[in-house]
Structures are given as C-alpha cells and as structure tokens.
C-alpha cells in the first residue's frame, strides 16, 4: 500500500529503468548535500502546544498572489515524459486537482502552453492554483525574452529564475551510466525552434549571468520573480535590493555544488536576512508532513518537492501524483492537529527545537 513518500520511492524503483532511477535520485559529487537535506529535517524536533486546536484546519496559503489549497508545491523538475507517456500534462492535472502550485521546468518535455491548457477545468475550484514557470537565464537575451513572453501569455503567475547553475552540476551517476541526453523522440519543448524537425538548442548554463541580468528581467516583466538557489544571506539581501519578489531557498536537491548546507538549516538565517520583506519558499528533502510543518514554523511560506513527484509519476502517472499530493496534505493536516494549530498561520518558530543550531 502506498502510504508514504518512501513507499512511492520504493514502488517507483521497481518499475524504473535503473538509469532513470539514478537520474532522479542522484546528486552532485559524493551526494553529501542530497543526504544532508533529509537528515537535517530528521534532526529537528517538534514541540507541540496543547488544548488550543480546532476541528477545522486550513491548509490554504497565498504566496505572491497565488492561492493554493496546500502548502506543498511542485518544484521544477525536468523530463517528465521519461517517466510517463503524458509527462508534464499528467503532473499538471494532478496538481490542479489538488489545488497545488506547479512550477513548470524550462526543461520540460511538454510546452508550457499545452500544460496550461491541460490544467483548465482540472481543478475543483473556480480559483485554481497557479502555474509558475522556471527558467535559466540564457545569454541569448532575445531567446529568454521569448520564453518570458510565452510563459506570460500561457497565464503563468510567476517566474522562477534558477541561479545556482553557472555550470552544470557533476552528476557522477549519470556520467557513469552514459545518461547524457534525452532518448530519441523526446525533447525539451521550450528549446525547440518552431516548425517540424526544428533545431533544439541546448540549455545554456552560463557563469556570466549576473545581477545585471536580473535587473534586465525585472525591466521586461511585471510578473513576480522568485530567485531559486541563492543560499548566502548576503545574496538574499541583494535579491531584495534588486527587486526580486520572493526566494526559493533551494540547493537544487544537492545537484549543484556538493557539500552546501541543508536548506532547512539555512532557513532561520535567510529569514532573518530578508526580514519579512519577501516570502521564502523552501525545497530539498521534504518527505513528511512534519517536515512541511517544521519549514513553515521556521518562516517558509510554502515548501517544494522535487523527487517525490517524479517517483509518484513513474509509479502511477496522474493518479500517482494526485495520491502523493493528497497524502502529504493529510500528513500536514494531522501534524497541525497534533501541534495544536488550526492552520498554517499558527506555526511559529517556538514549535521547533534543534539539538545543534547555528547562531
């Protein structure tokens, strides 16, 4: 029975081509940060309040103008058609059904216009959770501008700019497996030139991308911008100064620089650095409702999940992802009840205890 995120991982591994299983699970270098993300959540303890709960608990959140029925959103992950025939269409329908925000990866195997179309009417409310669009700023700014326009026209509610990838992370599992490209028949739709058989550009990771490019982006779009992958508190302060609207505190699931800290360990420091001026979404190692509660209590407005969505998609397609999102929602609700909270708003830092915590 699929009762936990761990169950989805185990079930997916039974089905997946081991090369694809490695692509999902793997990280950079020795995968120290991959493990650290989960271990850091496990080290934290919850300290509940008593005699103040309520029968009705709200898991609704609003972040950057986007309303969602769950604080768990789908972080951007590449290549969903590797895992399911329908790829991102299946993922997006499941997210819409549950009322979760989905961040569409620039490296998706379905175009953002088609994903947006698939989610119309898939949700249960008239006010569906938004799609956001993730991009790596390309040195070809005209091409980047086209992508921003496409995401905007498709109705995306925010842009998520990933800045932790001046060069590609060293994914040694993929290198050993020779998994360096998508199989024939699949492509990154956003990188394809229009028309049949058009050229597909490689996604450029460029060390020359700088704050000036963020300023440029700020100047060409009125959509909220989230910066994904800034970890240093000074960069968090700079983000605010450059007009960024939110942070996605992420170490790319341990897939870029190995040995960086777990994101949950950094959260208090980043929270202090931005001092409430912009919201923080956190991802990396979130596997349980209690992890979600810990992150929200320490100041995150929402949390993202990456690998669990891919496992659920591989295991059960659209239904699998829907079940995964529902079970995490149930776990969060259960943890809220046991913490004496009537909603995510009641979560405060005093509910979390850390055996070892930086000043």
Q: Look-up: residue for tokens 């936990």? A: 4
- Tell me which H or E stretch contains 292: helix 289-297
Instruction: For tokens 């986007």, name the residue.
Output: 66
* CA angle in degrees (0–180, nearest 5) for 99-104-105: 150
Separation CA 294–CA 274 (nearest Å): 19
Q: Are 57 and 336 in contact (CB under 8 A)?
A: yes
252 is catalytic: yes
- Nearest to ligand FNR of 26, 346 (CB atom): 26
Task: Tell me the closest approach of the beta carbon of residue 110 to ligand FNR, in angstroms.
Answer: 13
**Which of the residues 80, 171, 190, 252 is marked catalytic?**
252
* 154 vs 338, beta carbon nearer ligand FNR: 154
**145 or 173: CB nearest ligand FNR:** 173
Q: With respect to ligand FNR, which residue has the nearer C-beta, 281 or 341?
A: 281
Nearer to ligand FNR, 24 or 327 (CB): 24
Structure tokens at 174: 């993929």
The least distance separating ligand FNR from the CB of residue 56, rounded to whole angstroms, comes to 29
- List of residues contacting ligand FNR (CB under 6 A): 23-24, 37, 75-78, 105, 107, 134, 162, 228, 250, 252-253, 255, 283-286, 305-307, 310
Q: How far is the CB of 228 from ligand FNR (least distance, A)?
A: 5
Q: Shortest approach of ligand FNR to residue 292 CB, angstroms?
A: 12
Answer whether 86's CB lies under 8 Å from 113's CB. no
Q: To the nearest whole angstrom, how small is the minimum distance from the Cβ of residue 40 to ligand FNR?
A: 11
3-state helix, strand, coil in the chain (%, to 5): 45, 15, 45
Q: In this structure, are residues 140 and 203 in contact, taking their beta carbons and an 8 Å threshold? A: no
Residue partners of 72: CB distance under 8 A and separation at least 6: 100, 286, 292, 302, 303, 304, 305, 325, 328, 329, 332
Rounded to a whole number of angstroms, the minimum distance from the CB of residue 38 to ligand FNR is 7
CA distance linking residue 97 with residue 92, whole number of Å:
9
- Nearest residue relative to ligand FNR (C-beta): 306
Which residues does 203 contact at the CB level (< 8 Å), separation at least 6? 106, 107, 136, 138, 188, 191
Please provide the DSSP assignment of 52-102 as one string.
---SS-B--EEETTEEESSSEEE---S-GGGT-TTTHHHHHHHHHHHT--E
Closest to ligand FNR by CB, 263 vs 341, is 263
Active site amino acids = 252
């Amino acid at each position: 029975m699929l009762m936990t995120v761990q169950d989805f991982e185990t079930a997916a591994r039974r089905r997946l081509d081991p090369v694809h299983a490695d692509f999902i699970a793997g990280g950079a270098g020795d995968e120290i940060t991959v493990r650290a993300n989960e271990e850091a959540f496990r080290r934290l303890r919850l300290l509940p309040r008593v005699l103040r709960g309520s029968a009705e608990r709200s898991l609704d959140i609003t972040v950057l103008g986007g309303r969602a029925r769950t604080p768990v959103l789908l972080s951007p992950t590449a290549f969903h058609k590797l895992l399911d025939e329908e790829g991102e269409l299946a993922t997006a329908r499941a997210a819409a059904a549950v009322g979760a925000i989905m961040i569409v990866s620039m490296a998706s195997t379905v175009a953002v216009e088609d994903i947006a179309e698939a989610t119309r009417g898939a949700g249960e409310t008239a006010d569906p959770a938004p799609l956001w669009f993730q991009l790596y700023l390309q040195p070809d700014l005209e091409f980047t501008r086209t992508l921003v326009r496409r995401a905007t026209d498709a109705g995306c509610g925010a842009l998520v700019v990933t800045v932790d990838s001046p060069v590609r992370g060293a994914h040694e599992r993929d290198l050993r497996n020779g998994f360096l490209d998508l199989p024939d028949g699949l492509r990154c739709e956003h990188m394809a030139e229009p028309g049949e058989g058009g050229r597909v550009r490689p996604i450029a990771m460029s060390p020359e991308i700088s704050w000036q490019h963020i300023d440029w982006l700020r100047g060409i779009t009125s959509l909220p911008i989230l910066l994904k992958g800034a970890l240093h508190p000074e960069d968090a302060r700079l983000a605010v100064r450059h007009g960024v609207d939110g942070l996605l505190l992420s170490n790319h699931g341990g897939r870029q620089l190995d040995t960086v800290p777990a994101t949950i360990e950094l959260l208090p420091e980043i929270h202090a650095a931005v001092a409430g001026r912009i919201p923080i979404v956190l991802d990396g190692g979130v596997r349980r409702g209690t992890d979600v509660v810990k992150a929200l209590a320490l100041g995150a407005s929402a949390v993202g999940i990456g690998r669990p969505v891919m496992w659920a998609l591989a295991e059960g397609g659209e239904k699998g992802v829907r079940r995964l999102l529902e079970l995490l929602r149930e776990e969060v609700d259960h943890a809220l009840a046991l913490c004496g909270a009537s909603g995510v708003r009641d979560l405060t830092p005093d509910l979390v205890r850390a055996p070892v915590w930086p000043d």
